Amino acid sequence: MNQKILVTGGLGYIGSHVVVELQNEGFDVVIIDNLSNSSIEVLERISSITGIKPMFELLDLKDKSSVVEFFKKHIDIIGVIHFAASKAVGESVQLPLLYYENNLNSLIYILQELQKKENSNFIFSSSCTVYGQADSLPIIESAPIKEAESPYGNTKQIGEEIIRDTCKIVPNLKAISLRYFNPVGAHKSSKIGEMPIGTPQNLVPFITQTAIGIRQQLSVFGNDYPTIDGTCIRDYIHVVDLANAHIAALKRLINGENESNYEVFNIGTGQGSSVLEVIEAFEEVSGQKLNYQIVGRRIGDVVSAYADTTKANKVLGWIAKLSLKDALKSAWKWEVNLRRK
């Protein structure tokens, strides 16, 4: 009997890649998704990659009674990887209550069920947004948590606090928060990738949509920052590397290798790239010239953020293996494949 893992938001961008890697590792997977920012087609795409169709439940985690019933039905779940959350920074500023309700209530209802179990392993999808503009680079896990720039960022900070406080009093609950930097790229099969609904909020899908002609022009927000070329710097990590970090973290908890009930790890490459460097790298790997324009700065943008990944490398035994160019090549292949349909 294989070990059963629940992946919430498992049809989303990162979730779907994690489901593939879990199945490749021999885990049984059950997905919860409300399809608010994903598509049921992704289920078939996962199946065509792995040869296994994961169990799926269409469920809204804000509905407490549905969460209770789900855990009664799936009593053999030994681990939860929690992605289900609203994640657009700008939208969160406009709709703060929606973000707090969705991102915090769903987390609380899952933890309430996990504390009833004899043994629970929980991986939380956190974010480098919790650091804000860090005082020094690269950013280490013990860096101060700054006041959040958006309700979205705040839900990640509060989410971590909720998990930490729960782990203090529930000895049978073990949890790890993974603070991602900037996930990019797609699976090598080009069957799953980033598929934003509406206007992309992230740089790489905006680049690929501009290159393929869906968007007329790419806006580069500011070129007067104190960086190598005046544009913002981020740590771009291939989504498959990120997915494998979840597997490493989950195995650490299942095998009882964790040093405390609650641990935190940065997940990035340790390498910062500016917006213009990303554009140049994309043009190189795709052979496409991008139509981009420098515009004014965007409110809330951090100047520079990249990870110190020493802890994840040493403690989890995980390391990012794929390059920015690998990620951009796969993102472009995914975009082209998507538009052929």
Q: Is 339 a residue whose pLDDT tops 90? A: no
* Count of structural domains, the chain: 1
Residue 336 CB burial class (10 angstroms; 0-12, 13-18, ≥19): middle
Q: Percent of the chain, pLDDT > 70?
A: 99
Mean pLDDT across the chain: 96
Q: Which two tokens stand for residue 330?
A: 């796969």
Among all chains, which residue has been given the structure tokens 């040093």? 259
Among all chains, which residue has been given the structure tokens 């040493």? 314
Which domain CATH number covers 91? 3.40.50.720
Q: Percent of the chain, pLDDT > 90?
A: 91
Contacts of 237 (CB under 8 A, 6+ apart): 180, 181, 182, 183, 184, 267, 268, 269, 320, 327
Residue 150 lies in a domain: yes
Report the pLDDT value the prediction gives residue 204, as an integer from 0 to 100. Answer: 98
Residue 28 lies in a domain: yes
| Tens-digit pLDDT profile for residues 106-131 | 999 999 999 999 999 999 999 999 99
Confidence of residue 149 (pLDDT cuts 50, 70, 90): confident
Annotated active-site residue 236? The verdict is: no
Mind spelling out the 3-state secondary structure of the chain? CCCEEEEECCCCHHHHHHHHHHHHCCCEEEEEECCCCCCCHHHHHHHHHHCCCCEEEECCCCCHHHHHHHHHHCCCEEEEEECCCCCCHHHHHHCHHHHHHHHHHHHHHHHHHHCCCCCEEEEEEEEHHHHCCCCCCCECCCCCCCCCCCHHHHHHHHHHHHHHHHHHHCCCEEEEEEEECEEECCCCCCCCCCCCCCCCCCHHHHHHHHHHCCCCCEEEECCCCCCCCCCCEECEEEHHHHHHHHHHHHHHHHCCCCCCCEEEEEECCCCCEEHHHHHHHHHHHHCCCCCEEEECCCCCCCCEECECCHHHHHHHCCCCCCCHHHHHHHHHHHHHHHHHC
Q: Is 198 a residue whose pLDDT tops 90? A: no
Residue 103 lies in a domain: yes
Residue 301 lies in a domain: no
Distance of CA 111 to the CA centre of its chain: 19
Q: CB–CB of 31/7 below 8 Å? A: yes
Q: CB–CB of 145/202 below 8 Å? A: no
The number of beta carbons lying within 10 Å of the beta carbon of residue 199 is 11
pTM over 0.95: yes
Residue 53 lies in a domain: yes
Peptide bond just before 183 cis, omega within 30 deg? no
Single-letter amino acid code for the residue at 234 = R
Q: Which candidate in 109, 131, 152, 225 is catalytic? A: 152
Domain extent, residue 117, equals 4-184+236-268
Residue 199 lies in a domain: no
Pairing relationship of beta strands 304-305 and 233-234 according to DSSP bridges: parallel
| Tens-digit pLDDT profile for residues 132-145 | 889 999 999 999 99
Q: Is 1 a residue whose pLDDT tops 80? A: no
